Amino acid sequence: MDGENTVIGTGLSPEFDDDFEQPWNPEFDPTLPADRYLDRELSWLAFNQRVLELAEDPLVPALERANFLAIFATNLDEFFMVRVAGLKRRILTGLAVPTNVGRGPADVLADISDKAHELQVRHAAAYHGLVAPALDAAGISIVTWDSLDAADHDHLRTAFQQRIFPVLTPLAVDPAHPFPYISGLSLNLAVRVRDPRSGKEQFARLKVPQMLPRFVRIDQRENPARLRYILLEDLIANHLGDLFPGMDVIEHHVFRVTRNEDVEIDEDETENLLQALERELLRRRFGPPIRLEVSEDMDEITLGLLVRELDITEQEVYRLPSPLDLGGMFELYKIDRPDLRYPNHVPTTPVQLMPREPNAKPDVFASIARGPILVHHPYESFATSVQAFLEQAARDPHVLAIKQTLYRTSGDSPIVEALIDAAERGKQVLALVEIKARFDEQANIEWARKLEKAGVHVVYGLVGLKTHCKLALVIREEGGTLRNYSHIGTGNYNPKTSRIYEDLGLFTCDDQVGKDLTRLFNELSGYAIEKKFKRLLVAPLHLRKGLLKAIENERANAEAGRASGIRIKVNSIVDEAIIDALYRASRAGVPIDLWVRGICGLKAGQEDYSANIRVRSILGRYLEHSRIFSFLNDGDPQVYIGSADMMHRNLDRRVEALVRLTDPAHIAELDDLFDRAMDDRTSSWWLDSQGDWVRHSLDEDGKPLDDLQNRLMQVISHRSRAGSRR
C-alpha cells in the first residue's frame, strides 16, 4: 500500500503488480529444492495480517488502531481488485500458468479464500471486541439505533429527512426494472418488501451515498465531551418506511461487491495512450464481480438472489458481522483527539541544507556543492529538501533546464507547480509522467495535460515499460560552464505521502551522476540504445545483472575466506533468480539480512540453503518504503539506493534506477540503520523456518521493545538541533 492509493496515503499499502505472465521455473538452480519459495499471494495476506496485529495491539493509541483497521480493509480491497482478479482472469482465459510455487491458479484461489475469510472474521472481531471498546472508553462511541432513546430518535429523524432522504434512490427489481448495476466497493442495502394488498414480495436495492459522512454525529446533551456516532446505513435502514411508503419491509441487509478493477492497455496498438487509458478507466467500473460481502444475518432468499444476479460463486461470498467496509474508519481517524494518536512529529531540515550564517536564506545548490547529501524522510523534511530544490531551480535565473520523473504526486502538488513556474520563466522543462501508475491514472492524466498547457515537455516513457525511477536533474550555468545537480530517490515526488512514507534521497552535483542521468533522460524522451552507466544500475537491461553479480561476488569472497555480507531492504522480494542467488550465497557462508515490508517469497532458516539468512519486517506509524542494497565487498562496501523491488516487473518491465553511494558517512548511516532494524531489541516481525511471521514486540519482562521509527525520530531530531547550534 508505491502502493501508494485509493489506498495511497493509508500508510501501509503495498504495491500490486501484473507478474502473472512470468512462468514458474524452479530450474534456476537444480541443486536447490523445488519447494524453496513461499507463495506470494499468501505472503501478501500475511503482510496484511501484520497490519491487523497493529490494530489489535493495546499499546497502539486508539485512533491509530482504528486507522490500521481501515488500512487492512482498503489493502484487502485492492488485493482482490488486482491479484485475485488476475488469477480469475487466467482461469477464465485458459492461461493457467502455474504461480511462483508451481501451483494452479484455482488451487491458489481456494487457499486465498480460506485465509481471506479467516482474516476478515478476525478483522471484524478486532473492531467489535478491541477497537470499538477502546474508542468508547476514550469517549468516542459508535452506537446502534436500538440503543438510543426517544429524544435521539427524534433528532436523527429530522437529520435524516433534511440531509439524507433527498439523496437516496431506491431501485426496484421487477419485470419492468432489471437488476441494477452494483458499482464496485459501494455499500448497499438489499431490501425485501411486501405489498399488503396483494401479498406479493419484491426486491429493491438502495445504495448508501458515498458522498455523505459514513458516521453521523449525534448531539450529546448530557456530556458534550463524549462523541457519539451512528453508522449511515443503520440510520437509513431504520427509515425504510419513508422510502417504501405503503409497503411492509420484510428484510433488509447490507452488502458490498468488489470488482475486477485492473487496467489493461495494449500500447503497441494504441497511438494516443492518454485517450486509450481514459476509455479503459470508464470500462474499469464495469469489471466482473470477484467478492460479495454480506451481513452475517442475511436471509437465504436475499443471498440467493444476489449470488444469482451477480453470477458469483459460494467461495466468493463473505458473511461478516456488521458493519461492512471498515475502510470507513478513516473518517473517525480525523477526529481532533491528539491524545489518541501517535505523538506529533515535525520533520527537521537536514543539517547540510541549513544556512551556515545566521539569518541567511537557504541555498540548496550551495549546500549540494559542498558535498553529497543523503536525506531520510519523513524524519527529515521533504519541503525543505526536495521541494525546496525544485522550487529554487524554478526561480533561479542561472538554471537552464529541469528534467524529472513523476510517478505519483499529490492533487495540489507544489512539485508540479514548480515545473510549471520554471516553464513559464522560459526554462527547458521535461516531465516524464507515468500515467499508468495503478489507481492514480486519472490524476496523472490531469496533471500531464496541465503541464503540457504550461509549455512543459511531457513524455510518457517507453512502450511496454512503466517508468518507476525517481529522478530529478537540474542543469545550472556557473562561471560559464554547465553543472548538473541531481536527486535520486526511493520514493515518489509527493509532498503528502512524504509525511508517512519512509524514503531516502541523494542530492549530488557529482559530474558522473549528472552524465548518467542526462543519458537516461535522453533515452526516456527520445531514441537511444541503453548502455551501461557509471554510478547507476538501470532496469530493465542492467539492474538484474548488476545485483546478481554483486551477490555472486559476496559468495566468492566467503568461499575464499574474505569478508562478505549482504543487507537488502525492499518492499517485496519474489524474483526467483535473485532469491536463488541469495540461497547460494547463504550456502557459502555469507551472512544475509533481509528487511522486507511486504511480500517475501524466500524461505528463511532452511538448514540446507538459507541458514545464514535473517528476514525481518517492521511496520508502524510510517510505511517503510526505501530500497537499500548493501554489499560488504571484502571491506570496500558497495551500497545502492533506489526505486526497485525484487520483483519481475521491477527488474524486467520497468525503468528503475539505483545509485551507488560513495560518501563513507552515508554508507555508515545506512549500516547503522540496518544494525538497529536487525537488533533483537527492536520491535519487529521475524520470518521463521515454517514460513510464519512471528511478532517480537515485548521483552522477557513484558516490556515493549525499541520502536525503530520512534528511535530514528529522536536520533535525527537531536542531530538537527546540534546542527542548528553550530
Out of 299, 333, 367, a domain closes at 333
CB 407 within 8 A of CB 432: no
Sign of CA dihedral 19, 20, 22, 26: positive
pLDDT at 267: 37
Out of 503, 528, 553, a domain closes at 528
Q: How confident is the model at residue 99 (pLDDT cuts 50, 70, 90)?
A: confident
Shared domain for 307 and 250, answered yes or no, is yes
Encoded amino acid at 358, one letter: P
Point out which residues pair with 613 in neighbouring strands. Answer: 592
pLDDT at 25: 54
Give yes or no for residue 100 having a pLDDT over 90: no
pLDDT, the chain, mean: 88
Shared domain for 160 and 295, answered yes or no, is yes
Query: Quick check: bond before 209 cis, omega within 30?
Result: no
Residue 344: inside a domain: no
Shared domain for 488 and 556, answered yes or no, is no
Q: How confident is the model at residue 709 (pLDDT cuts 50, 70, 90)?
A: very high
Shared domain for 467 and 582, answered yes or no, is no
pLDDT at 93: 73
Give yes or no for residue 461 having a pLDDT over 70: no
pLDDT at 262: 58
d(C-alpha 697, C-alpha 84), whole Å:
32
Q: What is the mean pLDDT of residues 195-212?
A: 92
**110-125 residue pLDDT tens:** 999 999 999 999 999 9
Shared domain for 103 and 147, answered yes or no, is no
Most confidently modeled of 78-92, 96-110, 275-289, 495-509?
A: 495-509
Shared domain for 581 and 513, answered yes or no, is no
Give yes or no for residue 270 having a pLDDT over 60: no
Residue 189: inside a domain: yes
Out of 303, 333, 363, a domain closes at 333
Domain containing 13 equals: 1-138
**First and final C-alpha spacing in the chain:** 40
pLDDT at 458: 87
Shared domain for 484 and 408, answered yes or no, is yes
Q: What is the mean pLDDT of residues 421-432?
A: 93
Residue 341: inside a domain: no
Q: How confident is the model at residue 460 (pLDDT cuts 50, 70, 90)?
A: confident
Point out which residues pair with 247 in neighbouring strands. Answer: none
pLDDT at 474: 97
Residue 380: closest CA among 712, 614, 643: 712
Shared domain for 516 and 582, answered yes or no, is no
Give yes or no for residue 451 having a pLDDT over 50: yes
pLDDT at 28: 61
- Residue 428 belongs to domain with CATH number: 3.30.870.10
Domains of the chain: total: 4
The catalytic residues are: 468
Shared domain for 63 and 178, answered yes or no, is no
Predicted TM-score (pTM) of the model is 0.90
Q: Write out the three cell numbers for 82.
A: 488486482
Higher-confidence residue: 674 or 532? 674
3-state secondary structure string across 385-454: HHHHHHHHHHHCCCEEEEEEEECCCCCCCHHHHHHHHHHHCCCEEEEEECCCCCCCHHHHHHHHHHHHHC
CB 473 within 8 A of CB 419: no
Helices and strands of the chain, counted as H and E runs: 21, 27
State the pairing for strand pair 684-687/654-661.
Answer: unpaired
Give yes or no for residue 265 having a pLDDT over 60: no
In order of 385, 479, 578, 608, 656, the CA distances from 603 in angstroms are 39, 56, 13, 11, 26
Burial 392-415 (b: 16+ CB within 10 A, else e): bbbebeebebbbbbbbbbbeebbb
In order of 110, 181, 294, 312, the CA distances from 288 in angstroms are 18, 11, 17, 9
Residues in contact with 660: Cβ distance below 8 Å, sequence separation at least 6, in sequence order: 535, 536, 537, 638, 639, 640
- Residue 228 belongs to domain with CATH number: 3.30.1840.10
